[in-house]
Structure formats: structure tokens, C-alpha cells
Amino acid sequence: MPDPKLCLEALEALSGCQIQSTTGASQMTPQDFVNIVALREFYKQAGFKELEYESIGTLSLQDFDDRDLYSSPPALCQGPEASLKPVVKINLQNFFHPEFDFDFTHVKDGDKKFLRGNEEYIRPCGWDRAALRVAQQYDGGDQWLGTGTSAWPVSYHGQGMDGSLGIILTREGKPDDAPQFLEACAASLIRDETRGRGVYSTPDIKLAEQYCKQFTSKVDGRRYKVLLQNRINPQSRKPCNREGLWLVYIPENSTDVKTKAIVQESLRPYGLLLKLA
């Protein structure tokens, strides 16, 4: 497992919370964490200033890390902006699952092909993965986490992905209709109703890396990239006109409860990915 303190910093960079280790009960599970990361980005794009989450309270959606607080003078780090970040305590033993860690830093797959749920799995070569403890945490067993036909496909979440990236493909038709439909979609980019409203992820690790969060570590002074590795419910995602982009669509006028439920039923995290920037 990467340095636990480094993992805590990575969680903090993604969530906008102050993450601290505890030997007691965790305030959030890995599922809570992906919910917070996804909802934080979604509500921020929608123009909201705060997010309410039951186990944490009020979370500011202002992105203080644009200025990289870790490299700021101590006096700035202890200012009012730091106090806007809620303190969240997690038990490392209950949150991470080192038995399933995998360091892909020096792995090169070349032409090798891997499948998850009969769909291509592009492994995160070049990244170090800290596994999250998610086995036996969901109703219906762990088939979603497996490698067989009932497994959910792998997706990567980059925090900077938003509705400007893709247009939802909603029309049903024959495969040979696709080129004409894509042209029609491209021509309608200026229409708000064609933009994807929801949470984006991608099966392409290189695309995700373009939108990943970065932070400077207090552990070793180096700068890191961080991503979440998830499984996505194949019944929940919608394809977009841009190849390799998936959307968990959140309908207009969805309540906060409904929005959270959609995310929770669609995205399940299982890895925290770190890479030197």
C-alpha cells in the first residue's frame, strides 16, 4: 500500500474535506466517498456553493486547492478557508484493503487485452492502486467486482469532467444510423438539453488522467495525480457522442435524496490511484 499518510492526502484532495485517521469508527465508507466526490462536482457545476451530506454536514464547494494550500504559508493554511473544510475521520483498516493493492507503476500491457463484464478493461498502467474495502458490502454478492460476465465494467473518475464533454445519445436505432446521428448531435452542441447532466467517468485511463486532481504532498514534497477506479452499473450509464465517455444521468428536478440514490446505485469505488505528476 502507498504511504497511508499520502493516501489520506489524496482522499482530502478529491473530497475537499480534512481527512484524519482514527482507530474508532469511520465517518464514511468508500461508497460515501465516491458519492461525495461525484456529488461535489455535480452540484458545483450546477452553481451551488455548498453540499449537505448526512455523515459529514456542510461541505463547501469552493475549490481552495486551485491555489495548492499545501505549498502556501502556514498562516494562510490556518485561515477561514481551512475551517470551511469539515474534518472527516476514517479507520484505515476498515477503509482500505491492502490484500488487493496493485502497483501498476512499471507495468506495460502492450497488446494484452483484459475484460470485465465482457467489456475491455484498460488497466491503470503507470499508477499505484490502494484497494478500497468494498467486498461483501453490497446486497447481491460480489459479482459486480469480479471478472466474469456479470461483473460491472471498470471506469475512472476524473474530477474535472463535466457536461461540456459530451452529448447524450438517446435515440434508439440501427447501428448504421449512428454516423448520421452523431453528426446531428454535433450540430446541436449549443442546445442545453443535449448536454449530459450528471456524473461522467471513462474506461480510458489516459482520458481520465487529463481531468485528474493534483496535489502537493506534505509527506515527501512531491506532486501527485489522483483518480478513483470504479465499477459502473451497465444498466445506469448512458453513452455520449465522444468515444470512451460514460454518463450517469441525473434528471432535471431530482431531489437531493434521489440524486444521491442514482449515484450510489450506479458507481461503486474499489481503488484509489496515485501517480507522480
pLDDT tens across 123-182, in order? 999 999 999 999 999 998 999 999 999 999 999 997 777 656 665 654 433 444 444 444
Quick one: pLDDT band at residue 5, thresholds 50, 70, 90? very high
pLDDT tens for residues 34-93?
Answer: 999 999 888 888 888 899 998 888 888 876 554 443 333 333 344 445 557 889 999 999
**What is the structure's pLDDT at 230?**
97
Residue 276 clears pLDDT 80, i.e. is over it: yes
pLDDT tens for residues 178-213?
Answer: 444 444 444 444 344 445 688 989 999 999 999 899
- Tell me the percentage of the chain whose pLDDT exceeds 70: 80
Strand partners, 58: 52
**What is the structure's pLDDT at 167?**
59
pLDDT tens for residues 89-127?
Answer: 999 999 999 999 999 999 999 999 999 998 999 999 999
